[in-house]
Amino acid sequence: MVYTKEVEIGGKILKIETGKLAKQANGAVTVQYGDTVVLVTAVAGGLREDIDFFPLSVEYREKAFAAGKIPGGFLKRESKPSDKEVLSARLIDRPIRPLFPDNYYNDTQVAAFVYSFDTENDPDVLGAVAASAALAVSDIPFLEPIGEVRVGKINGEFIVNPTHQQIEESDIELVVAGTESSIMMVEGEAKEVSEQVLLDALKFAHEEIKKLVKAQNELRELCGKPKIVVPEKVVDQNLLNDVNALALEKFKTIVASVLAKEERSAKNKELEAEVLTALAEKYPEQEKAIKEILHDMEKHLMRSRILVEGLRLDGRNTTQVRPISAELGILPRPHGSALFTRGETQSLTTLTLGTKQDEQIIDGLRTEYKKRFILHYNFPPFSVGEVGRFSGVGRREVGHGNLAERSLKNIVPGEEKFPYMIRLNSDILESNGSSSMATVCAGSLALMDGGVPVKCAIAGIAMGLVKEGEQFAILTDILGNEDHLGDMDFKVAGSENGITGFQMDIKIQGISFEIMEKALVQAKEGRLHILKIMNEAISAPRESISIFAPTLLSTKISTDKIGALIGPGGKVVQKIQKDFSVEISIEEDGTVSIAGLDRNKAKEAKEYIKLLTAEPEIGKTYNGKVMKITDFGAFVEILPGTQGLLHISQLDNKRVEKVTDVLKEGEMVRVKLLSIENGKFSLSRKVLLKEPQAEAVKED
């Protein structure tokens, strides 16, 4: 039987349907909004007794046929997930992950497929709603449904689920997920908006989220399956007592000690080995349980010290930022570079300036477009002192790079002011908390070091949360352990004037607006502190770009001259590129971009193109090349590809018997264009010989 629920969101009907497709999955739901349709399935496997984490995987795939397109490439079929698909999968994964029971360790997979796309309504937030609904109606133990919406703001008014065109005009683009009572996830960018605007946007989003949650609850009441019962976690009290007796006091000392990341890790491992050895004979098969007890012990001690004493693992109070250093231009050949270090987190970010041809082509469900600003983030295993594989870019790297890129994109100058393609690359050389925000800071510094005329400096900071009942503490500039053992990771980036990027994930079942408001105020204080240090290192972009960056010049030609510049099969433009060692890009409106490492050659190429595409003007003087000599005159090239006849009678102000008495092939000669008839050009040298004499007489 097919079950359907409809809800109005942003003036359009969002339809949730189940019971028709993919009926062998534990739960399967389609969501339609406009003509965009997403199918999401949820499937649970068996219990994984060998692990101590929830094995959830979320996949999101956009089918080209959804937009009436055929995939590019040789195979003509969808291949590995694009960055857009990876980011959309994360928008589903992050808000639902905290909403499974703590001791639920069954393999669980959520798979989303975009089957129809109307070019206006982005399927990513619909996928999150469908995933929640599929889990809600299934027998998989999912605590409560979520809603997810995108929010924009145009002319002071908030808009829910704006179209792509509206997003371009908006001051803010915010994706918010939440339950009926609280917010679970935030992701987005803004054009330097205030903390209050962001908070108002979250409250606006939550009202729409409540509608989506209500519809899902009604659907679950209609057709929801009984939930799988998850056995409660049983802890051997004797084992717990023995571990506490051996480790509690020692762990209190470790937690209260100010230690570097490696030292703390070594102390923890030493204590763990000591406890395991001491209890090996009495509890021969309880190694996993002992490690879990020690983990929970560290978590409890760390959180309680923060809530009671206001002190953290590294001795800071809740509002302090770790020591910061910023170094510029540390690499000789990249076009800009910056090393940003905050505590034990370090980003080396480089700037590369490219040409029009370096722009990234994005081909997905939407119309193909180009990006001229990109940021790549890399997290090698040595940054956390580990050995690992250097394979493809992981989802975390894509997500962190996207957040940093969105935080910086709105300060990058437009193409009309700075025509370069811009690439930032952040390598995380050391990590102990919030490497994405270190990337934002290093990226801002590298842009300025490279002479990119950015609007202002941008800094980022990560906020944490420890919450027990009604008592809570917000942490500025969190450590890795505070992220792992805490309840929230809230990243905020921006300038002195406002917020440009943000991302929030939580590990508990929602947080209040009171906590979010306090976190935003505290984040602003931390951000301004970091910006002060960054401005001491460099307060404005350098006056010039690197000498190693390509020279970019541009000129405008008539659109009917584009064909002449390109030439048959591209021969003309290819020859210019080869002769002058430049790259040339030609736009439909006649804008010609010239890029070259040698500035002089780039200038020569520009002048040549101007001559090649110029219209011959009657009465104008040209310095032409003699291409061919005949009995009746010489053919002279006055512009590239344009020749005129210099008749023998126009060679001199005295009689000329033979053309070769005056000219020879390959010689340069000054001529004047007398007339244009039927596409033929008549030239004269004689008039130029007379004119100087006339002027001389006049002067006498």
Q: In the chain, where are the structural domains located?
A: 3-223, 237-309, 324-537, 551-612, 621-699
CB contact set of 672 (below 8 Å; sequence gap of 6+) = 619, 620, 621, 622, 683, 684, 685, 687, 688
CATH of domain 3-223: 3.30.230.70
Domain 324-537 class?
alpha beta
CB contact set of 335 (below 8 Å; sequence gap of 6+) = 350, 351, 352, 353, 450, 545, 546, 548, 549
CATH of domain 237-309: 1.10.10.400
Label residue 570 left, alpha or beta by phi (over 0 means left) and psi (-120 to 50 means alpha).
Answer: left
CATH 3.30.70.1140 corresponds to the domain 621-699: no
Q: HSE, CB side, 13 Å, CA atoms: give it for residue 90.
A: 23
* pTM of this structure: 0.87
Positions of the chain with pLDDT under 50: 692-700
Orientation angle between helical segments 261-279 and 287-309, nearest 10 degrees = 130
- pLDDT for 699 equals 35
Label residue 665 left, alpha or beta by phi (over 0 means left) and psi (-120 to 50 means alpha).
Answer: beta
Domains 237-309 and 551-612 share a fold: no
3-class DSSP assignment, residue 500: strand
What H or E segment, with its residue span, contains residue 251?
A: helix 237-256
**3-state SS record for 654-694:** CCCCCHHHCCCCCCEEEEEEEEEECCEEEEECHHHHHHHHH
- pLDDT for 131 equals 98
In angstroms, the CA 559 to CA 588 distance is 7
- pLDDT for 368 equals 82
In angstroms, the CA 182 to CA 169 distance is 29
Could you tell me whether strands 56-62 and 36-47 are parallel, antiparallel, or unpaired per DSSP bridges?
unpaired
In angstroms, the CA 475 to CA 591 distance is 51
CATH fold, domain 551-612, is Ribosomal Protein S8; Chain: A, domain 1 (3.30.1370)
In angstroms, the CA 309 to CA 266 distance is 25
- pLDDT for 691 equals 55
CB 366 within 8 A of CB 119: yes
For residue 402, what are its two tokens? 């996207």
| Structure confidence by residue, pLDDT tens digits, 146-183 | 999 999 999 999 999 999 999 999 999 999 999 999 99
